Amino acid sequence: MIRILIADDYPVVRDGLRGMLAGEADFEVVGEAASGVEAVRLTERERPDVVLMDLQMPEMDGATATAEIAARFPETRVLVLTTYDADADILRAVEAGATGYLLKDTPRERLFPAIRAAARGETVLAPTVATRLVSRMRRPATEALTSREVEVLELVARGSSNADIAAALFISEATVKTHLLHTFAKLGVDDRTAAVVAALERGIIALPRRR
C-alpha cells in the first residue's frame, strides 16, 4: 500500500486527484493539504510514502515545503505536480529534494506508475522537464574568470566604484568597465550586484572580511 498526501490549494484539484487515485488498489490517500505549511504538518503526522506537491501555494510555497520535508522526513518522497515548467521552478524543486517533477497535464496512465516509482525512490520527470534539465546541463559550464576579473569582482563586492578599482589596480576606468562586461557575460548576469551574488554563490569570491 502506498500512502499518499495531496498538497494543492485548489479543492477541485484535490478532489479530482483523490477520485483518480481511489481506483487503484495499492493507493491510499491519507490526507489533503491546502498550503505548504499544512503539507509539512500532515507529513509529520501521517508519514506518507509520497506527497503530491503543487508549487504555487499560500503560506509557504511547494518548493520550500519540499525542502523542509526532504530534510526532516527523508523517507517521504515528494513528487511535484504542477502547471509550471519554467527552468527556475524545476531547478528549485529538484534542488529542494523533489524525487520527481510532473506536469498537471500528465495522463493517469503515466501518473500512476510515476507515483509507484517515486515511492520506490526513483526519479520521475515529465519528458519536457527531463529535456529542459538535460539541455541546461549541456550548456557550456560558466567560463572560468581570469585572476584579474576575480580581483575586480572582489573590489566590487567591497563596494568599490569603478574609479576606486581603477586606482587600486592602477589601470584605467575604461579597462575596469571592460573587465566587468566580460565578467558579467561569463556569469550570465546584467549588473554588478548580480555578478557579486553569482560569484559568491559559486564560491568564486568569498565574503569580504570585516575589519
Partner 1 sequence: MVATATVTGTPRLLSADAEVTLLRVTQEALANVTRHAHAGRVAVTLSYMDGETTLDVRDDGSGFAPGADGAGANGGLGLRGMRERIEALGGRLAVESAPGKGTTIAVTVPVQ
Binding site for partner 1 (CB under 8 A): 146-148, 166, 169-175, 178-179, 182, 185
Q: Toward partner 1, which CB reaches closer, 185 or 194?
A: 185
CB of 174 to partner 1, least distance (A): 4
Place of cell 518522497: 77
CB of 209 to partner 1, least distance (A): 24
Q: Toward partner 1, which CB reaches closer, 132 or 192?
A: 192
CB of 33 to partner 1, least distance (A): 50
Q: Toward partner 1, which CB reaches closer, 73 or 184?
A: 184
- Least Cα distance to 101 among 82, 77, 120 occurs for 82
CB of 206 to partner 1, least distance (A): 21
21 φ, ψ to 5°? Answer: -75, -25
CB 157 within 8 A of CB 200: yes
CB of 167 to partner 1, least distance (A): 9
CB of 203 to partner 1, least distance (A): 21
CB atoms within 10 A of CB 164: 15
Q: Toward partner 1, which CB reaches closer, 1 or 185?
A: 185
16/8 Cα distance (integer angstroms): 11
Q: Toward partner 1, which CB reaches closer, 21 or 152?
A: 152
* CA-to-CA separations, 200 to 131, 194, 197, in angstroms, rounded: 29, 10, 5
Element (H, E) at 50: strand 50-53
CB atoms within 10 A of CB 20: 14
The string of DSSP codes covering 59-89 is SS-HHHHHHHHHHH-TTSEEEEEES---HHH
Q: Toward partner 1, which CB reaches closer, 64 or 183?
A: 183
1/114 Cα distance (integer angstroms): 15
